[in-house]
Amino acid sequence: MNEKEIRSLAKNGLYQGKALEGELEETHISWIILTEIHAFKLKKPVKLSFLNFSTLKLRKTYCEKELMLNSRFTDVYEAVVPVYHNGGLWSLGEGQGEVIDYAVQMKRMSTASRMDKMLRHNKVGVDNIKALAIEVAGFHKNADKVCQPFKLSTAMTLFNDIKNCKDLVKTKVGVSYAETIEGAIKWSDAFLKQHAERFQQRIDQGMLRDVHGDLHSGNVFLYKKPVVFDCIEFNDKYRQIDVLYEVAFMCMDLEAFQHQELAEEFLNTYSDSFPCFQVVEDQAIFNYFKCLRANVRAKVHALSIEQSHEDKEVQGHIVEVKKYVNLMKVYMAY
């Protein structure tokens, strides 16, 4: 589906014979239609360096995988439903005509309870963070261990993928930010070579597990029992990671919101439940992981600059790129 079609589905489409009248939200790889009771997530027909949603068959496959993987965390995910188009009429779940796409059907959660929105309004407290850390640690303890060797070239490629955005950053964001990215790539290559043995030791010790892969505040609802959702389904290597890398994302995110104290609380509470620092060198690896997570967020917003059509959205993504590149600079200086 394209943007015009998804807007028509959200505004005029049907679900179980009734008008959707949905509110549309968008990420760089998905559209989400929010109704009073449900949320329907559709994958954009894109092919990027790290994912491929370019065909209907692939989008169906990844919708089914998303449902299966996220059911490990929550009962929010309900089904994968087809999108029909017939004579100008759009419908979800049931209908006639051609199946144009597929959507992941979820229970509608309270937008006001999403952690990133609560952080923006300074409504996240220590108790929220402790509950989330305990929830994540509990899942990590029982997550499947992954036994595969540390590959230096793969680790380098993961960090260095941001190089594909360097020219865009130079043009749209600023020369100094592109220079920081270039410097970060050199720093990362040197760090990975220096600590390659310890990365492998952590794998041998069972710290590489099939976890969430995208654990940031936008993927958490802070109810009395935190709800973690939207894990990575499109690329197994992004989800089968060192648990310390997962923890680093949440801590980096909290620091990006300028809540260092909450980042420390999350890390301390998690570590009390599931110790993830075993030798002094792990502190440096944790810092590297935070830099890598800031790298990924900078890349996501850089890609979104090209996909945005309104100047306000473009400027918003530019601000975010600057923020995360600056964070990379801070972590490299540790």
Claim to verify: residue 224 and residue 297 sit in the same structural domain:
yes
* Nearest Cα residue to 222 out of 115, 137, 110: 115
**How confident is the model at residue 208, as a pLDDT?**
97
Total domains present in the chain: 2
Claim to verify: residue 174 and residue 248 sit in the same structural domain:
yes
- φ and ψ of 262, to 5 deg: -75, -35
Claim to verify: residue 255 and residue 311 sit in the same structural domain:
yes
Claim to verify: residue 169 and residue 285 sit in the same structural domain:
yes
Q: With 0-12 CB in 10 A as exposed, 13-18 as middle and 19+ as buried, what is 302?
A: buried
* Nearest Cα residue to 81 out of 97, 61, 62, 101: 101
At 76-131, the pLDDT tens digits run 999 999 999 998 899 999 878 899 999 999 999 999 999 999 999 999 999 999 99
Claim to verify: residue 219 and residue 174 sit in the same structural domain:
yes
Sign (positive or negative) of CA dihedral 213, 159, 247, 140: positive
**Is residue 26 very low, low, confident or very high in pLDDT (cuts 50, 70, 90)?**
confident
Interatomic CA distance for residues 314 and 301, integer angstroms: 9
Residues above pLDDT 90, as percent of the chain: 90
**How confident is the model at residue 308, as a pLDDT?**
79
* Nearest Cα residue to 299 out of 173, 120, 150, 156: 173
Claim to verify: residue 204 and residue 166 sit in the same structural domain:
yes
Claim to verify: residue 98 and residue 124 sit in the same structural domain:
no
**Alpha helices (runs of H) in the chain, residue ranges in sequence order:** 3-12, 56-70, 115-120, 126-142, 152-160, 166-172, 175-204, 236-239, 243-256, 260-273, 281-307, 311-332
Average pLDDT value over all residues in the chain: 95
Residues above pLDDT 70, as percent of the chain: 100
Structural domain boundaries enclosing 33:
3-108
Q: What is the pTM of this model?
A: 0.91
Q: Which of 108, 126, 142 is the last residue of a domain?
A: 108
**Is residue 334 very low, low, confident or very high in pLDDT (cuts 50, 70, 90)?**
confident
